[in-house]
Amino acid sequence: MFINREEKLKALNEKLNSNKFEFVVIYGRRRIGKTKLALKSVENKEHIYYLAVEGDNLKHFKRYASKVVLTIEYAKEDWEAYFNFLKDKIIIIDEFPNLIKENPNILSLFQRIVDVHLKDTKTKLIILGSSISMMGEKVLSYKSPLYGRKTGVLKIRPLKFKHLKEFFPNATWKELVEIYGFADGIPYYLEKIKLPFWDYLGEEIKRIDSFLRYEVDFLMRYEFEEPTTYKKILEAISFGNHSLGEIKNYLGLRHSDITPYLKNLIETEFIEREIPITESSKAKKGKYYIKDNFIAFYFRCIFPNLSAIEEGIFDIDEIKSDYNQYLGFVFEKVAKEFLIELNKMNKLPFKFLNIGRWWKKEEEIDLMAINKKEKKALFVEVKWRNLKDRDVKKIFNDLERKSELVGLDNYEKYYSIIGKEIKNKENFKDYLVFDLEDFDIALNVKISHP
Ligand SMILES: Nc1ncnc2c1ncn2[C@@H]1O[C@H](COP(=O)(O)OP(=O)(O)OP(=O)(O)O)[C@@H](O)[C@H]1O
């Protein structure tokens, strides 16, 4: 099963089929599918694949490379000598940060190898890395010796919500939202899940060797030497503390400056900072959100219960009871994707060019979609609940009131609710009312795999 990634695969194939030297950097969070993508692109091509380890890479690499290029056995143990034997080949080095950790000079060495030996050949060098901090600073930044050598960069992102349907063609949209709250669009986690989801999760948590217990520690150690404060910040955010003040309060660090930590968490893509959609990007009032649902799920549902889980006395119902509330946040992300798909299909009253959250003091609008040129705005309330006529009326009244506070006075305004299940949607003809039943319109992807 190989889901989505067509664009990335196409880009990679173009590089592999070119008749000049190519140096491609592929990076993204662990478990996201970098290796699978790289290996898929060379499926029918001769190639050398090497997964860098913590030590002795020169020796190990030679052993792997000699399976394809026998003569490399005669090369002396040094990278420059190796690459002289590997000209015009496809070479994939996975977990490149391990090479950097073993020998920081590797960057200058590879610079020299490219400049002196490979530049004028047809060699295809592909390097992969999961540590976003290390790939950013040591490989991609303008300060890196490798800067200016790469001919392509592919950043691998999570799959979209709609792609979950391909993993689980028989699941309902409700179940898919539940799964998304746990696995986000990360293939490694999605692959592990068996339906029914709650049975799987209950079993997985009970397992003594479950990846759930160690995964986040493992991910964090990849990026930070001392993860304790970072973990506390992630816990704070996952429990709904989104402003700087709220996070500091949760941590009991009212007088400390935690902005360097937040900056690092943003850089390593654990969190993101959002500003109200109507503000300029330099606006001071940012809110912090956990970027992937798996991390949010861990800090909300697993981390606080680690002791009970370890002792074997944890009951999955503990998670179930809070999960719907947690999904409120997850469903906002899903609703945003749903609107973006409808927008692409021209199924909304106007084409928006911007979408995001809005807030001012205590007032908040889950999603606003705007076209500034046409002066049109869509205001959206997202509810992970079943709604009756009465609820819908109340929500629209409140949404109309809040929309007046935004300050888009001469805009044409549209209003929408996206809910889990909404009774009598047809009673609200002047509004855009959607529930999970409507997801088939926009999110149903053609199942491409067998
Ligand atoms: N597009 C995809 N569709 C379906 N399954 C996928 C896809 N991409 C990856 N997978 C599966 O997800 C798992 C993780 O993928 P892979 O090992 O390629 O990730 P990675 O980014 O290289 O991870 P790591 O950095 O942790 O080694 C694998 O079991 C793989 O088969």
User: What are the structural domains of the chain?
Assistant: 6-155 (3.40.50.300), 162-329 (1.10.10), 331-443 (3.40.1350)
Predicted ipTM of the assembly: 0.98
Q: Ligand 1: which of 26, 35, 36 to mutate, judged by most atoms within 8 Å of the beta carbon?
A: 36
Q: Using N-to-C axis directions, what is the helix angle for 173-183 and 197-206, rounded to 10°? A: 30
SS3 state at 358: strand
Residues 6+ apart with CB under 8 A from 384: 177, 324, 327, 328, 330, 331, 419, 420
Amino acid at site 37: L
Indicate the pLDDT class of residue 285, thresholds 50, 70 and 90: confident
Token representation of residue 251: 């941590």
- Ligand 1: atom nearest CA of 2 is 3
What is the CA 127 to chain-centroid distance, rounded?
Answer: 20
Closest CA to 98 of 126, 139, 129: 129
Q: Whose CA is nearest to atom 15 of ligand 1?
A: 33
Kindly report, residue by residue over 361-391, the tens digit of the pLDDT. 899 999 999 999 999 999 999 999 999 999 9
Burial of 342 (0-12, 13-18, 19+ CB in 10 A): buried
State the Cα–Cα distance between residues 179 and 170, nearest whole angstrom. Answer: 13
SS3 state at 280: coil
Q: Which residue has the higher pLDDT, 322 or 449?
A: 322
Indicate the pLDDT class of residue 446, thresholds 50, 70 and 90: low
Contact criterion met (CB below 8 Å) for 52 and 36: no
Cβ–ligand 1 distance for 158 under 6 Å, the answer no
- Radius of gyration in angstroms for the set of CA atoms belonging to the chain, rounded to a whole number: 25
* Average pLDDT value for the chain: 94
Indicate the pLDDT class of residue 1, thresholds 50, 70 and 90: confident
Kindly report, residue by residue over 11-48, the tens digit of the pLDDT. 999 999 999 999 999 999 999 999 999 999 999 999 99
Q: Whose CA is nearest to atom 19 of ligand 1?
A: 33
> Ligand 1 centre from 189 Cα, in Å?
9
Q: Mean pLDDT throughout 303-310? A: 91
Kindly report, residue by residue over 96-147, the tens digit of the pLDDT. 999 999 999 999 999 999 999 999 999 999 999 999 988 999 999 999 999 9
Cβ–ligand 1 distance for 98 under 6 Å, the answer no
Kindly report, residue by residue over 177-216, the tens digit of the pLDDT. 999 999 999 999 999 999 999 999 999 999 988 999 999 9
Cβ–ligand 1 distance for 286 under 6 Å, the answer no
SS3 state at 127: strand
Q: Ligand 1: which of 35, 159, 165 to mutate, judged by most atoms within 8 Å of the beta carbon?
A: 35
Cβ–ligand 1 distance for 130 under 6 Å, the answer yes
Token representation of residue 90: 């496809």
Kindly report, residue by residue over 21-31, the tens digit of the pLDDT. 999 999 999 99
Indicate the pLDDT class of residue 445, thresholds 50, 70 and 90: low
